[in-house]
Amino acid sequence: MKILAIDTSNHPLSIAITDDDQLIATTTLNLTKNHSIYVMPTIEKLVAIAGWQPADLDRIVVAKGPGSYTGVRIAVTTAKTLADTLQIDLVGVSSLKVIGAHVAQLQAGRPTIVIFNARRNNVFAAGYQVQQGQMNEWLAQQHMSFEALLQLVEERQEAVSMVGEFDAQFDEQVAQSPAHSLITRLPANYAIPSAYDLAILGRSAQPVIQLDEFVPDYLRITEAEANWQKKHPGELKQSYVREV
């Protein structure tokens, strides 16, 4: 199965093409957030390097969020357009799982928590653990305060590895938390997504049935929608986009 995998969920951009479980070509950029400029040229370049034509692709696998609103939309829109144009399968995979699946395998059974900075001391978080060769969900992906995440670790009293987008405030909170002795923060390079891992995760997953209904996993409403709801309490009867 020839797969094109696309992840623009956050600052890094990662794109790969694979043939079954073999990596054919990949590109990862961690220099810019102008993903809309680089996505299609990068795809075209990789397909050309492989000596393929777009029609050779069997499946598109996309990191469907959470993450940057704009970044997630770019990847999902590109993936849906290509899948529709080429009439091939589309699969969506959690952006947190793309990182967690790879890192958890390196932790010898220790739970791995992946976080994306969601601003205002909030995070998108999920936890994964490999047990008897199978990757299990230790923490379902969700939008939560970083403080609540630390409290959850403290309550479970289980040593964990944590990887993702840390800032000075997060570091300080970990140091001051009763859970600090349970948390091992992994180096920043562990948080760079791999489109190859994304392709492997999506290879055996069930494809989207209704392409038009496939939407990103934002896990929270936009700030604009939150502000609108404050000004119009109880008035949202359909989607926010249709309301405005």
Q: What is the pLDDT of residues 51-64, one digit of tens each?
A: 999 999 999 999 99
Burial of 93 (0-12, 13-18, 19+ CB in 10 A): buried
The long-range contacts involving 121-126, CB below 8 angstroms and separated by at least 24 positions, are: 121/145, 121/146, 121/147, 121/169, 122/146, 123/149, 123/164, 124/66, 124/67, 124/96, 124/219, 125/96, 125/149, 126/94, 126/96, 126/97, 126/100
Q: Report whether pLDDT(117) > 60.
A: yes
The topology under which CATH files domain 2-95+193-226 is Nucleotidyltransferase; domain 5 (3.30.420)
pLDDT given for residue 243 in this prediction: 45
Q: Residues 138-144: what's their mean pLDDT?
A: 97
pLDDT given for residue 216 in this prediction: 94
Q: Residues 112-127: what's their mean pLDDT?
A: 96
Q: Tell me, yes or no, if the pTM score tops 0.85.
A: yes
- The mean of the pLDDT values for the chain is 91
Give residue limits of the domains in the chain: 2-95+193-226, 96-191
**Who's near 109: CB < 8 A, 6+ residues apart?**
129, 130, 131
| CATH code of the region 96-191 | 3.30.420.40
Q: Bridge-partner residues for 155, per DSSP?
A: none
Tokens, residue 126: 């999920």
Give the C-alpha separation, 109 to 105, whole Å.
8
| Residue 38 · residue 32 · CB < 8 Å | yes
pLDDT given for residue 154 in this prediction: 97
pLDDT given for residue 239 in this prediction: 52
Give the C-alpha separation, 17 to 2, whole Å.
7
Q: Report whether pLDDT(30) > 70.
A: yes
Give the C-alpha separation, 143 to 127, whole Å.
13
pLDDT given for residue 190 in this prediction: 95
pLDDT tens digits, residue range 162-178? Answer: 999 998 999 999 999 99
pLDDT given for residue 222 in this prediction: 56
Tokens, residue 203: 């290879």
pLDDT given for residue 227 in this prediction: 55
Give the C-alpha separation, 64 to 216, whole Å.
5
Proportion of the chain above pLDDT 90, given as a percent: 81
pLDDT given for residue 70 in this prediction: 92
